[in-house]
């Protein structure tokens, strides 16, 4: 079972990976966006890590709703409200439980992804974070390593696609041949589950 400590580690590991990969994420965003994805998420997840240390939320659901609120209030770009919605919806779906199973996390993350799709209107194949998140959720019942592999594969599969949502879509065919920054950061978020499970 996964307790609040696990969810705090998940957010802390994500914050550390975003710090480590920030330059790379911004470079991907400079090819098909406005070169701010790394710094956007760095600001957001640093705020998440700070808020979690200060407030010490007691349940998995409370950890994720707090994290989501921080992302919405600190990230100016499209990714802030989208990732914020993902984590808030997932947290809400986990309810008040002190511990949750991987299957419950998979179901909750599924409703989080639905929330992102409603907010942003993207489906798989539009070259967005959904391309990494949706296959990861589908694979999650098979374990964290399977989810990570699915997310990484989904992110890599965005390279030959033409963007149909977000800033990259303004480029039309010129968005082809570059990996989507948001799908890449989503793969970091999912990979952090595995690291959080074996601290």
Angle at CA 19, nearest 5°, toward 69 and 50? 40
The reply on whether position 38 binds ligand ADP by CB under 6 A is no
User: Per-residue x/- marks for Mg ion, 57-96, CB under 5 A?
Assistant: --------------------x-------------------
- Sign (positive or negative) of CA dihedral 124, 128, 130, 133: positive
- Rounded Cα gap, residues 1 and 16, in angstroms: 24
- Rounded Cα gap, residues 44 and 81, in angstroms: 11
Size, binding site for Mg ion by CB under 5 A: 6
Residue 59 and residue 94 in contact, taking contact as beta carbons nearer than 8 Å: yes
Exactly one of 7, 9, 36, 109 binds ligand ADP (CB under 6 A); that residue is: 36
Q: From Mg ion, ligand ADP, none, which one binds at residue 180 (CB under 5 to 8 Å depending on kind)?
A: ligand ADP
Exactly one of 14, 40, 70, 175 binds ligand ADP (CB under 6 A); that residue is: 40
Please tell me whether residue 127 adopts helix, strand or coil conformation: coil
Please tell me whether residue 90 adopts helix, strand or coil conformation: helix
Exactly one of 181, 188, 193, 196 binds ligand ADP (CB under 6 A); that residue is: 181
Please tell me whether residue 100 adopts helix, strand or coil conformation: strand
Phi, psi of 82 (to 5 degrees): -70, -50
Residue 156 and residue 148 in contact, taking contact as beta carbons nearer than 8 Å: no
The reply on whether position 77 binds ligand ADP by CB under 6 A is yes
The reply on whether position 78 binds ligand ADP by CB under 6 A is yes
Q: Which is nearer to ligand ADP, 124 or 146 (CB)?
A: 124
Q: Which is nearer to ligand ADP, 95 or 177 (CB)?
A: 177
The reply on whether position 152 binds Mg ion by CB under 5 A is no
Exactly one of 5, 20, 23, 34 binds Mg ion (CB under 5 A); that residue is: 34
Phi, psi of 48 (to 5 degrees): -60, -50
Task: Write out the binding residues for ligand ADP, residues 109-168 only, by CB under 6 A.
Answer: 116, 120-122, 128-130, 165-167
| Interface contacts to ligand ADP, rule CB under 6 A | 29, 33-34, 36-37, 40, 77-79, 82, 116, 120-122, 128-130, 165-167, 180-183
């Amino acid at each position: 079972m996964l307790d609040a400590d696990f969810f705090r580690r998940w957010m802390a590991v994500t914050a550390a990976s975003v710090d480590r990969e920030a330059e790379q994420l911004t470079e991907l965003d400079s090819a098909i966006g406005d070169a701010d994805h790394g710094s956007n998420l760095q600001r957001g997840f640093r705020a998440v890590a700070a808020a979690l240390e200060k407030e010490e939320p007691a349940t998995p659901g409370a950890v994720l709703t707090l994290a989501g609120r921080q992302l919405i209030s600190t990230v100016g770009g499209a990714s802030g409200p989208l990732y914020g919605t993902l984590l808030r919806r997932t947290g809400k779906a986990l309810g008040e439980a002190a511990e949750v199973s991987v299957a419950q996390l998979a179901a909750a993350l599924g409703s989080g992804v639905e929330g992102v799709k409603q907010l942003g209107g993207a489906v798989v194949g539009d070259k967005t974070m959904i391309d990494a998140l949706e296959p990861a959720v589908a694979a999650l019942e098979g374990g964290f390593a399977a989810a990570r592999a699915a997310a990484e594969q989904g992110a890599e599969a965005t390279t030959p696609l033409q963007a149909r949502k977000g800033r990259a879509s303004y480029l039309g065919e010129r968005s082809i041949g570059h990996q989507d920054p948001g799908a890449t950061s989503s793969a970091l978020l999912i990979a952090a589950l595995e690291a959080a499970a074996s601290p």
